[in-house]
A and B are shown apart, each in its own frame.
Chain A
């Protein structure tokens, strides 16, 4: 035990930093929470059931004959367990969440309320269609908005997230090529693309080739043009791109790709920057997924569920997946599935998911869209872009912004680690931001910028919130440039210090295992 200079003794032992150590490991409101398996019991339950009537079992001879090992908790214990866990998370509800390319905007609570209306939440996917006309109308109304906002020809609503939407788009492209007897093997992907792009192209059976970026952070048009040929099925482009820049030559790129007989896939992850300002359909794009969990505010929930509807050009429209919603000739709405696709939709490439897509996300996204309207959505893009440029220009004197000289950014600002003192990294700066009360930005992505820091504030931040973030980022950037070694120890105030990821990967512990009696005795 250490004694502080005044001679006062703490009531409990101190750690190496001299901070008081409590008997429980808790620190006031910061409460440690054991694993469910350490506090629950297989005899405990938080649910009461009616008495089970006598029955003659029909399960055959496959009855469970040994314990499963699922501990239970009473309701108060359950609520406390998850509430305590929740408090170890950062969230948009707590503060600015500037993860680039993730569009962490405010999640309106009206969306949650609407999604829980019984007519949406308590409806079975296989109910007869006459009993779900309101649900089908939601899908149709949302589809109409998404088509108007993108200026595209048709839409596939069923993909479950962005990467699933990418897959849908590439399968449409592949089906369209195969329908004209044109087998192609290669998909071109810019080196700055999200990892899902090359992974999706491989998943859809294509070889992937990279195309480089130019010094201004855009697709190298000449390199792209020279690679186009009869073996190229598609080019996957993100616009605005992952450097936060609009591709001004997009139309030229699309024309060149089309002239070579290939298709243009656009990763719509960054649609928030241009919603209501530019229509992808006017840029010559053939397919683009829309992350409802980014641009249209459905919550990320710690990693999903998302939703990734895909808008399609006229050339790809016939090849979209089943099922889809149409207006029926008798009035009302019709779900076109395997059974009734028939002759009207002979080229539909098939089913991607068991039912009809992420209905719970459709209700939320439509609620969001109706709240904003055409005027509000345009304002969303403008404020998102303004906020990002405000950050970019407010920090230009302290952080290297590799593309700032060429003009404004779109909805995200990118910085590099240039000028940091020897031994101080982007990771150190990010972890220091945690101590300042912020979630760090996207780090080390895109790969084309050294030590990249990609900052996307979104439009739902106030100027005061941006100013505080700028002040914090300025402070840690100055420390990084000055070589402040205390950055290496950050975060200090988070629920955990830096975690050993190497150990986790080298000796994976992926499930809880009870300590064997022999080990426990040691």
Chain B
């Protein structure tokens, strides 16, 4: 894997190489080179199995982190290619031409995070939330609690507990709940 990373570093400006396990490595590459790198890995390095595509919202940095996770069935290794894109007007080059299932991931990311993949099939179709008019629901700033409080009516006769506070009271009844802990629960 080290040899492969050295090869990729020069051509694809690979940085931030992290290996949580010997068979799993994550690398970061600029947005412009990400699809070229993924294509190279598929066509020349044996990473033929597309495991998944994911997104992490680093709202504090104003960035979305896209992940293309690939698997090499011969060497039994995984390589995660990460790239960062701006949260505002988020857009990424489509990779639907590389594997048949990629368009589904891109369609979901468009709906859940608001990232556009121009040219990707059915990218504007609803995936799991039909008729959704709020902000994309997987963004960090979408507050599920606030949304449900504003959308649904309270059910009389039912008590609602904050899960963390409830568990703390149940497991450690004698431990006082400080203001700090209550803040952490929120």
Q: Please indicate whether A and B come from the same complex rather than being unrelated chains.
A: no
Residues of A within 8 A of B (CB): none
Residues of B within 8 A of A (CB): none
